[in-house]
Amino acid sequence: AAGAFFLGIRNAFYGLRLSQLLLLPRALRPLAAHWVIDETAAVALAQRDRRAARLGFVVTGASLYALWNLTTLIGALGAASLGDPDDWGLDAAGPAVFLALLAPMLRSPLERVVAGLGVVLVLACVPVLPAGVPVLVAALAAPIVLAVHGRRAAARPAGQPEPTTATDATEPSGTAEGENR
């Protein structure tokens, strides 16, 4: 129940962000809500404009819906012929796909540190905690990194801003890569 609750919370945040980005007609929103998942959110948010975001959301949602149902049917009809799934090493496939979807969205050094710490926490906890708990522990990465970041910012001398990107620290004001976008 707790896992379903946290999944619902995560998807609610995706839905809030996607509703602002996609601006779908009110009649389509209940239908689109069924496709608010990691993959559709990642594809839609990676697009440069609303039209491409809508297209990415719909194509990803429709593809996943069709393929999920097709592979479920195939699995129901022929799963016994595959043998033991542990022999295939598929336990790493889910996290690998999630990391592949997440990686392009990590733009700032702080985001990369949070993601890296989350990976370290999961890897450290998997051998000693029950299934599902390491992911919950990894959620502590964000508050830990933000607390350390906040302490460093408080300890910084007054009037000395922290660089937001590596290029901000080395380039003169007004020429940072982030300002050229």
The pLDDT of residue 166 is above 70:
no
Give the CA count within 13 Å in the CB-facing half-sphere of 73. Answer: 6
pLDDT tens per residue, range 30-80:
999 999 999 999 999 999 999 999 999 999 999 999 999 999 999 889 887
Asked, for residue 23, whether it belongs to a domain, the answer is yes
- Residue 92's nearest CA partner among 117, 112, 119 is 119
| Cα-trace Rg, the chain | 20
| 68 & 8 share domain | yes
Q: Rounded to the nearest 5 degrees, what angle is found at the Cα of 159, between the Cα atoms of 155 and 164? A: 75
pLDDT tens per residue, range 107-142:
899 988 998 898 899 889 988 988 888 888 988 998
Domain total for the chain?
A: 2
The pLDDT of residue 179 is above 60:
no
| 16 & 70 share domain | yes
Task: Print the domain residue range for 35.
Answer: 1-78
0.85 surpassed by pTM? no
| 60 & 112 share domain | no
pLDDT at 173: 46
Residue 89 CB: number of other CB atoms within 10 A?
A: 8
Task: Give the contacts of 88 (CB within 8 A, at least 6 positions apart).
Answer: 82
Asked, for residue 176, whether it belongs to a domain, the answer is no
What token pair was written down for 82?
């595959």
Asked, for residue 88, whether it belongs to a domain, the answer is no
pLDDT band for position 152 (cuts 50, 70, 90):
confident
pLDDT at 167: 46
pLDDT band for position 161 (cuts 50, 70, 90):
low
Asked, for residue 97, whether it belongs to a domain, the answer is no
Q: What are phi and psi of 26, to 5 degrees?
A: -55, -35
The pLDDT of residue 172 is above 50:
no
The pLDDT of residue 164 is above 70:
no
User: Any idea what DSSP says for residue 129?
Assistant: S
Asked, for residue 94, whether it belongs to a domain, the answer is no
pLDDT band for position 176 (cuts 50, 70, 90):
very low
pLDDT tens per residue, range 89-98:
666 677 777 7
